Amino acid sequence: MNQEELDMAGLNLNEEAPREIVPEEPPKTPAAIEKLIEEAKAALTAQEQGEKQSLSLVVIGHVDAGKSTLMGRLLYELGRIDEKRRIANERGSSKMGKSSFSWAWELDGTQEERERGITMDIALQTLLTPHRVITILDAPGHKDFIPNMISGASQADSALLVVDAAVGEFEAGFERGGQTREHLLLVRSLGVSQVIVAVNKLDQVEWSKARYEEICELLKPFLLQSGFHPAKTKFVPVAAMEGVNLARAEPVGCPLYQWYKGPTLVDLLDALEPPSRDINAPLRFPISNVFKGQTSGICVSGRVCGGVIVAGESLRIIPGDESATVKAIDSDGDSLPWAGAGSNVNVTLTGVDPISLSVGSVLCRPSHLVPLASTFTAKIIVFDIQVPITAGTSVELFHHSRDVPAAISRLVATLDRSNGTVLKNKPRVLTKNMSAEVEISLRNATYSGPASRVLPIPIEPFSVNKDMGRILIRRGGETIAAGVVLELLA
């Protein structure tokens, strides 16, 4: 045997005896797990008709509008922060010379966030109102952390937009380049249809009714244009630092109540409608965070985007061919036997190498794997852009907590925004406010020669799973389009 034959044999490249490929049989789900899944579905159906329904709320708005302060104060007003914690936060923030951030410290927990006085990552908390269990996702408002904000918004059912009533501040956030407009477009593109607008810091404008109404009148046409139905849009005047009109209306001594007789912020949160959940769909659990569990195992957090996840079952991690066992499921410190579509939970996994788990991967059952694609068609709406989109435009594609380099490889057709009919096939360019069908191809993140392969991502058509079929497209630090996946091509 010569050297070449030896090399071929060592690499198992000899073609003489091709090995038979045995198809991998999906592991059978134990009868006990099947029974638990059925019990969970029955309980979730009963829960939908029960008293306290759960939903998730993303808190959005321009940087320094007072989002974290508002949430911290609201948690305190509802008894979720005790006096001891409040005093500790007050002392700590005063010591750093940032006493005005004491309420925000409850959500901005990292040293860097506290030193800089801005939210950088998503903070999760739970609020209890008389009829709702609300998971709060406090999103960063700073332009540098838009990817984190997208990750939070993709897990939300409704939004709370916080705007700063101070003269000049609201305008700075609402003008082109401000985050108020971009955040509203992003959450609407990610499927959020209900929004509460909290007009904050009214104490800084002497509780002016004229200023409150001016802000409402400026926002209403933009909300309508962004796709929010007026019936699902509510406005409320608040002062987060003072705790005015958050959980209770206290007309005595506050000038606000001389002209405002409407509901408090908690009243509006309590009236939010939870969307319908598809608990009979195949399980989809996109991972938004991976961290070390308190006991053995690795913890992943995210939102169930379809079906039911139960403790004890074995799940596949896509992309890859790894499996993991669900050791435990918990929400806000409470251990759960199962969680249904729409739930934001932490899942402890065992029997898996942490290297196989990454943000953007999807947990699913071996019998119903989520498809992988690197090329697909999508229906998009182009935002208010300066530079037109042409075929071959390099972009960044956002899907849940994953962002990957991509290109708009083909412009298929421009569409009528009102009814979706084709206006023109094979357009040369897409300009602002156009609706179009395009083909999107993933690009390789590394430039290591022609041999490098583009890695597909777990994604589904919008018609199959709404949550798994939404995408956002950014270019040069600006969101340029959003849309839904129509068909997977490769």
Domain boundaries, the chain: 53-270, 277-364, 372-488
CA angle 20, 25, 31 (to 5 degrees): 160
Q: How far is CA 484 from CA 236, 277, 420, 467, in A?
A: 32, 19, 13, 10
Predicted local distance difference test score (pLDDT) of residue 98: 47
- The answer to whether the CB of 413 falls within 8 A of the CB of 426 is yes
What does the chain come to in residues?
490
- The answer to whether the CB of 53 falls within 8 A of the CB of 103 is no
pTM of the model: 0.75
Predicted local distance difference test score (pLDDT) of residue 73: 84
CA dist., res. 121 & res. 99, Å (int): 21
Tell me how far apart the 2 most distant CA atoms of the chain are, in Å. Answer: 98
**Sequence-ordered list of residues with C-beta below 8 angstroms from that of 298, at least 6 positions apart, any chain:** 290, 291, 292, 348, 349, 350, 352, 354, 357
Strand partners, 348: 299, 328
Closest listed residue to residue 440, CA positions, set 371, 349, 379, 361: 379
Residue with tokens 């959003």: 482
Could you name the CATH architecture of 277-364?
Beta Barrel (2.40)
Predicted local distance difference test score (pLDDT) of residue 147: 67
With a cut of 50, list the residues of the chain below it in pLDDT: 17-28, 98-99, 108-110, 113-114, 116-121, 451
- The answer to whether the CB of 237 falls within 8 A of the CB of 188 is no
**CATH topology agreement for domains 53-270 and 372-488:** no
Q: 66, exposed or middle or buried, with CB in 10 Å at 0-12, 13-18, 19+?
A: buried
Could you name the CATH architecture of 372-488?
Beta Barrel (2.40)
Strand partners, 474: 396, 479
Q: What is the 3-state secondary structure (H, E, C) of the chain?
A: CCHHHHHHHHCCCCCCCCCCCCCCCCCCCCHHHHHHHHHHHHHHHHHHCCCCEEEEEEEECCCCCCHHHHHHHHHHHCCCCCHHHHHHHHHHHHHCCCHHHCCHHHCCCCHHHHHHCCCCCCEEEEEECCCEEEEEEECCCCHHHHHHHHHHHCCCCEEEEEEECCCCHHHHHHCCCCHHHHHHHHHHHCCCCEEEEEEECHHHHCCCHHHHHHHHHHHHHHHHHHCCCHHHEEEEECECCCCECCCCCCCCCCHHHHCCCCCCHHHHHHCCCCCCCCCCCCCCEEEEEEEECCCCCEEEEEECCCCEEECCCEEEEECCCEEEEEEEEEECCEEECEEECCCEEEEEEECCCHHHCCCCCEEECCCCCCCEECEEEEEEEECCCCCCEECCEEEEEEECCEEEEEEEEEEEEEECCCCCCEEEECCCEECCCCEEEEEEEECCCCCCCCCCCCCCEECCCCCCCCHHHEEEEEECCEEEEEEEEEEECC
CB atoms within 10 A of CB 296: 9
For domain 53-270, is the CATH number 3.40.50.300?
Answer: yes
Q: What's the Rg (C-alpha) of the chain?
A: 25
